[in-house]
A = this chain, B = another copy of it.
Amino acid sequence: MRLEWLEDILAVAETGSFSEAADRRHLTQSAFSRRIRNIEDYVGVQLFDRARKPVQLRATTGDQREQIARLAAGLRQLVEDLRRGDRRALNRIVIASQHALTAAFTPGLIRAVQARRQDTYIRLRSANLDECFAQLLSRQADIAIVYRVPGQDHPIEADYIEATALGVDRLIPVCATGAAGRMRHAVQAGELPVIAYPANVFLGQVLERVVFPQLDPGLAVDQQVETALTLAAVELAAEELGVAWVPASLSSRYVAAGTLCDLTDQLPACDLLITAVRLAGASGSTEAGVWDLLAAHRGA
C-alpha cells in the first residue's frame, strides 16, 4: 500500500472518472487503468464498479474514503516532519537544568548563547540534580546546568564527565520583611521556624550537611512546611511562615524590593558553584560550540 495509491483512489473519487483522474495524476488513461487494477489486485477486492460509465466507487470504497484521505494526509505530514526534524537535529541540543536554577539563572544563560548562535535550537528540561545526571548518562540531555558545593564532587566519577564553572551563587536565609523582628527574636529564643526542603533533594542535603551544622548549638530548627521548589520556598517565606534558604540569584530581586529580608548577619549562608556538565568524549559540533560559549561565559 502506497501514498501514491491512496492519492490515485482519491482522484477517481473526486473526478468520478478514470480518464480525468489519469490526467490529474499525469498518466495516460491506459497506465492509470492498469495501476488501479494493480491496487485492486493488492487489496484483493474491486474498488470500483466498471459496469457503469463513468465508473462509480463501490460502497465499501466510499465508506473508507475519509480514512483514505486521512492516511494520505498523515503520510505526507510524516515526510514533512522527518524533513523539518532533520533540519532541527543538525542544530539542536538538550540542556537539563536543576529546578533551583531553571527559574533564575539558566534562562539568562540560554539567551546569551542564542544571541551568539541564532541557528541553534535549545531544548530546556528542568529536573532535580539526580535526574539531570540520569539524563546525561542516558544521552537524553547533552549538557546539564547544576549546583555544586565547593569542595564536593559531582555524583558521577570525574573520568566520565567534563565540567566547567559558570558562576557562583549563594544559599542565603531570608524571611518576610514584616516578620524580621519575630525571626530575630526566635533566634534569641532558640527555636527557629524553617521552610524546609525534602531530605532527598540536593538543597535538602546542603541544609542538613552544610548549613544547619553551622547554626548556634542552642538553636533548634522547627520545620514549618516543606517544598522541593525554591520558587515556592520564596513565596512561603514571603507569607511569613518562616526562614527559607534560597539562592541569592533568585531572592535578590525580592530583597531589593523589600519583600524579603536577608538574615545572613544572624544565620549561616552557603556558597554554591554553578557548573555546566557533559559526558566526556566525542560530541557533535553544535554541542561543542555551545559548550565553548558556556566556558567563556562568566555571569551571575
Q: List 11 A-B contacts (CB under 8 A).
A: A1-B75, A2-B3, A44-B83, A58-B89, A60-B81, A60-B85, A60-B88, A67-B74, A67-B81, A70-B74, A71-B71
With the chains together, A44 CA to B82 CA distance in Å? 9
Residue A63 at the B interface, CB < 8 A? yes
Residues on B with C-beta less than 8 A from A89 are 58-60
| Contact B78 A1, beta carbon cutoff 8 Å | yes
Number of interface residues of A (CB under 8 A): 32
* Secondary structure of the A contact surface, majority rule: helix
Least distance between A23 CB and chain B CB atoms (Å):
23
Cβ–Cβ contact B78 & A71, under 8 A: yes
A47 at the interface (CB under 8 A from B): yes
CA separation between A200 and B62, bound complex, in Å? 33
In the complex, the chain B residue whose C-beta lies closest to that of A84 is B60
Cβ of A216 under 8 Å from chain B: no
Whether, in the assembled complex, A79 has its beta carbon less than 8 Å from a beta carbon of chain B, the answer is: yes
A61 on the interface (CB 8 Å rule)? yes
Give the distance in Å from the alpha carbon of A78 to the alpha carbon of B44 in the complex: 12
